[in-house]
Structure 1
Amino acid sequence: MKTLAKVSNGHRLPGVSNWIEDWFGRELPSFSTEFLPSINKPATNIRELPDSYELEVSAPGWKKSDFEVNVDNGLLTISAEAKKEEEMSEDNYTRREFGYSSFKRTFTLPDTIDSDKVDARYEDGILYVILPKVEHARQKPVRRIDIK
């Protein structure tokens, strides 16, 4: 049973001890990093086209020179690294700020990818990685079969 404390206007409010009991008796919410956005893993879309796959990596604010894209033994690795330093002095104050950010994503390529022809471009905050299919894996146009 909760006790109420009287206030000067005659209304009753929960007492401090009840408020503390309620607060500490509650189950605290749990947070999972699975649902939190991660700076170290940019969102990536993979789209299948007739002759290739296209990866779209969302990376706004980066420069083309920040990226490195490698293909090695069936693994595609996309990484980026950026450092920023800024120093400002005025009067008797000096302000120095610096930052570092990076990410790395690795994808296992299927045998249907021609790894010698992988290409990449960066425009409007999106890194596009084109993964051409080998000839036998490309979609063939519909061929009409005559019935005899």
Structure 2
Amino acid sequence: MSLVKFRRRPFGNLVAQDFFDMDDFFDNRAWVRDMLPSRFWNGKTAEPALNVKENDNNFEIELAAPGFAKKDFEVTIEDGCLNITAEKEHSEEEKDDNYTRREFSYNSFERSLQLPESVKQEEIKAKYNDGILSFKLDKKEEAKKMPPKKIAIS
């Protein structure tokens, strides 16, 4: 860890220069769509939240995707990436003498995760329960954390 000298700035974490150079302030902000990194804007409406936990013997991934069914998901592994896509359509129509009511919705998302080389790709397990898509990715033997070994001193 390296130490960096802390310098207080006026207005907290905002750079004071931003308030005085108005052209720069309005031209280079996040609301300019081309300036947004893909993690904020990828042309889709939203991406589901994702938790990744590393244990000694495996990785556990949880993806929040409520409202979907198992059949809505497609999970593939390609070029070392775990690709998760889901698509769901719903339509409803009610006709009466005086009116017709139509409702429809469409929801989809894509997530891709680069898998570490330490994962056994052929043994990945997935489960969907209560709106959570869970994955268990076992590590290869050589990647598992070894217990400490006591060495005798002669």
Aligned to 2:13: none
Hey, what's the Cα distance between the residues in 2 that align with 1:78 and 1:129? 11
Aligned to 1:62: 68
Hey, what's the Cα distance between the residues in 1 that align with 2:83 and 2:55? 21
Q: Percent identity?
A: 41
Unaligned stretches of 5+ residues in structure 1: 1-29
Per the alignment, do residues 99 and 130 of structure 1 end up closer, same or farther by CA in structure 2, a change over 3 Å counting? same
Task: Write the deviation string for residues 114-145 of structure 1: whole angstroms up to 9, x where unpaired.
Answer: 11111100111111111111110012233333
Hey, what's the Cα distance between the residues in 2 that align with 1:91 and 1:146? 91
Aligned to 1:78: 84
Aligned to 2:150: 144
Q: Highest CA radius of gyration, 1 or 2?
A: 1
Q: 2:107 aligns with which of 94, 101, 106?
A: 101
Which residue identity does 2:60 align to in structure 1? E
RMSD: 2.2
Hey, what's the Cα distance between the residues in 2 that align with 1:114 and 1:39? 33
Aligned to 2:58: 52
Kindly indicate whether residue 93 of structure 2 is the aligned counterpart of residue 87 of structure 1. Answer: yes
Q: 1:112 aligns with which of 100, 118, 127?
A: 118
Deviation (angstroms), 1:112: 0.7
Structure 1 runs, 4 residues or longer, greater than 4 Å off: 30-33
Hey, what's the Cα distance between the residues in 2 that align with 1:121 and 1:145? 43
Aligned to 1:135: 141
Task: Write the deviation string for residues 28-63 of structure 1: whole angstroms up to 9, x where unpaired.
Answer: xx874749xx74311101100111111110111111
Q: TM-score, normalised by structure 2?
A: 0.68
Q: How many residues align?
A: 119
